[in-house]
Amino acid sequence: MLRIGVVGCGAIGREHINRITNRLAGGKVVAVSDLYVEGAHQVGDPLGATVYSNSADLVNDPDVDAIICTTPAFAHKETVIQALEAGKPIFCEKPLTTTAEDSLELAEIEMELGKKLIQVGFMRRFDESYTQVKDLLDSGEFGAPLYLRCSHWFPEVDDGFTTEMAVYDAAIHEIDVIHWLLNERYESAQVMFPRQTGKKNPELKDPQIMHIRCKSGVIATIEVFLNCQFGYDISCQIVCENGVIDLPKPPRPLLRRSGGQTIPLDENWKNHWMRAYDLEIQQWIDAVRAGELTGPNAWDGVIANVTADALLRAQQNEGQIEPIAVGPRPDFYK
């Protein structure tokens, strides 16, 4: 049984604790930590888990074999370094860090260690809709992809959600999944702000239209609209030489009533990606127990952060094309 310590007992931390405890196999949450220690007790005490107010004590607990980091992104680096220093595998929720520089530092430490210990929470790679799309692309039947149209629509976000978070908290998923789908390196980024919705925090740029050009010339457009009001909806359409592939929507009931018919949208990301998260964390547990990580690694985190940094620069210089300068994948991360 893999003895897991969870650092961060907020929304996604509680989700992972719940899935490990009630749905997945091979793992047990034996320790939890949070700076808000009362919150850690709320989730840890019913499990009989050891409760800490800091990550270092949890990481170095001899009864903890592996760590899941679900703190806010700005705090990821500290916990990942602690895990690397302890030689323990760590699943770090996305993004790996909030800057390319910090993610590169973690990759360099890991390469120095000579063992892959980091997996990054790019869960769309485990989503069965995306794996179907990847299989179709990899089949070659559709020919070369030419351009992608993606949308990341959120019903509403609170006032703490910033223009920058639209990149490194929301679109970071498209940033990762697009280069995974296409097996492509990125070349440049551009951001445009269309007419802004009135239904938002005045400080937030919303919606945003992000363009990423790949080395092959493929252009991916990502529409991020965080206060769309109508529901949580993710789309990805890939236009290829021989046809078009649309990301399947998650199976939801067709409802007929009052003379009409509707297919309900999800209210948020938790239930939208429930199965993908389950598959992702189960794969991580199995991989750690087998002694070899196979999921998104620190270099995928570096690619995402370098690209995100370019998009952040592009936000500051609307319409300007910003280079995405990430080197080739080191052999260590092949």
Q: Rule CB under 6 A: which residues touch ligand ISE?
A: 154, 169-170, 173, 269, 273
Q: Which residue number places its CB atom closest to ligand ISE?
A: 170
Q: How far is the CB of 136 from ligand ISE (least distance, A)?
A: 23
- DSSP code string of 206-218: -SEEEEEEETTS-
Residue closer to ligand ISE by CB (options 169, 278) is 169
The residue with tokens 């005490």 is 45
Q: How far is the CB of 270 from ligand ISE (least distance, A)?
A: 9
Q: Which residues of 291-323 are buried (b: 16+ CB within 10 A; e: fewer)?
A: eebebbbbbbbbbbbbbbbbbbebbeeeeeebe
Q: How far is the CB of 173 from ligand ISE (least distance, A)?
A: 6
Return left, alpha or beta for 258; rule: phi > 0 is left, psi -120 to 50 is alpha, else beta.
left
Provide the edge-to-edge strand list for the sheet that holds 90-92.
Answer: 50-52, 27-33, 2-7, 66-69, 90-92, 118-120
Residue closer to ligand ISE by CB (options 134, 289) is 134
Ordered alpha helix ranges (H), 117-246: 128-139, 165, 172-182
The amino acid sitting at 88 is: K
Q: How far is the CB of 85 from ligand ISE (least distance, A)?
A: 27
Report CA-CA distances (Å) from 243 to 66, 180, 211, 297: 44, 20, 22, 32
Q: How far apart are CA 234 and CA 12, in angstroms?
A: 19
Residue closer to ligand ISE by CB (options 91, 269) is 269
Residue closer to ligand ISE by CB (options 174, 322) is 174
Residue closer to ligand ISE by CB (options 240, 296) is 296
Strands 243-246 and 255-257: unpaired
Q: How far is the CB of 234 from ligand ISE (least distance, A)?
A: 7
Residue closer to ligand ISE by CB (options 240, 247) is 247
Q: How far is the CB of 323 from ligand ISE (least distance, A)?
A: 25
